[in-house]
Amino acid sequence: MFHLVLFLHSAFRWLLLIALLGSIVKAARGYARSAAFSATDNALRHWTATIAHLQLVMGVWLYLESPVTHAFRQSPAAGLRQPELRFFGIIHIVCMLTAVILVTIGSAMAKRRKTDKEKFRTMLTWFSLTLLIILIAIPWPFSPLARRPLIRI
């Protein structure tokens, strides 16, 4: 079960990044052109937040089941001295939780804005901030803190 969730989590990582990028581009265009906030824009806003929430559920499950985070929780003081344990034990989970909170707030605020331009601006601001935090918290293959392959099979 762990490996299945790990695979799905890895696949949803890319789906979330694509959804965020699509939402940001669509919001930037809509804002710049003073376009109408369409049902498609609203669906993109909604599904981006939904994908983030699904990713959160899988991520928390992996956090609780992972041998890496288990090692960190067994000895936090020792884990703080090891970059990979520190990254997955604290940095990654805090950043990703923050990102999901931000995308949720941004989605809810955009939904409630009165004008289309405000909806696009709100979505652009909050989703861009979310994307930035996620990009910082991904264990890229070139990261000095924790390395993981881009696609896990």
Domain boundaries, the chain: 2-137
Residue 6 corresponds to which amino acid?
L
Tokens 């599904």, located at residue: 47
Tens digits of per-residue pLDDT, 67-83? 999 999 999 999 999 99
User: What six digits make up the tokens of 7?
Assistant: 């695979």
SS3 117: helix
| pTM reported for the whole predicted model | 0.91
Q: Contact 106/123 with Cβ under 8 angstroms?
A: yes
DSSP state of 140: -
Tens digits of per-residue pLDDT, 83-139? 999 999 999 999 999 999 999 999 999 999 999 999 999 999 999 999 999 999 988
Residues sharing a CB contact under 8 Å with residue 130, sequence separation 6 or more, in sequence order = 20, 52, 99, 102, 103, 106
CA quadruple 6, 98, 24, 56: dihedral positive or negative? positive
Question: Count of CB atoms within 10 A of residue 142's CB?
Answer: 5
User: What six digits make up the tokens of 11?
Assistant: 């696949």
Q: Contact 6/152 with Cβ under 8 angstroms?
A: yes
Cα separation of 117 and 25, whole Å? 14
> Terminus-to-terminus CA distance in the chain, angstroms?
14
How much is the pLDDT for 143? Answer: 84
Average pLDDT of span 8-14? 86
How many helices (H) does the chain have, and how many strands (E)? 7, 0
